[in-house]
Amino acid sequence: MGDMSRNFSRWEFACQCGCGYDRIDPELVDRLQKVRERFGPLTVTSACRCEKHNQEIGGRLNSAHLAGLACDLRCANSFSRFHLIKRLVNAGFSRIGLGKDFIHVDIDAKKPQSLIWLY
């Protein structure tokens, strides 16, 4: 499985069902690495998803996770959320979803850009 960047390994981005799908987009990893260097440790809670796993967890049919273009990051509190969002925008992310305890980012150019949504 191997390292994707200085602070991320391929296994962190693999589908959580254990199928082995781990084809994460290198540009996404590069942007996350830039955020990591300014924010501190990041915990990936979901990245690549096979179709079966995506369906089981209620993911959207056209989820960017299916193409290895998305990542969810754990975010424990409002203070961290503010600073993480600031770093994500500075790293060029323009598609950000906010959950209670996570932040979704993706680089899917086929979807609307420059938006933040709530889960």
pTM of the model: 0.94
Domains and CATH numbers, the chain: 10-118 (3.30.1380.10)
Residue 2's CB is within 10 A of a number of other CB atoms, namely: 7
Mean pLDDT score across all residues of the chain: 96
Which 3 state secondary structure label does DSSP give 109?
coil
H/E stretch holding 84 = helix 78-90
- Residue 1's pLDDT band, with cuts at 50, 70 and 90, is very low
pLDDT at residue number 109: 97
Q: How many helices (H) and strands (E) does the chain have?
A: 3, 5
Q: What is the pLDDT of residues 46-104, one digit of tens each?
A: 999 999 999 999 999 999 999 999 999 999 999 999 999 999 999 999 999 999 999 99
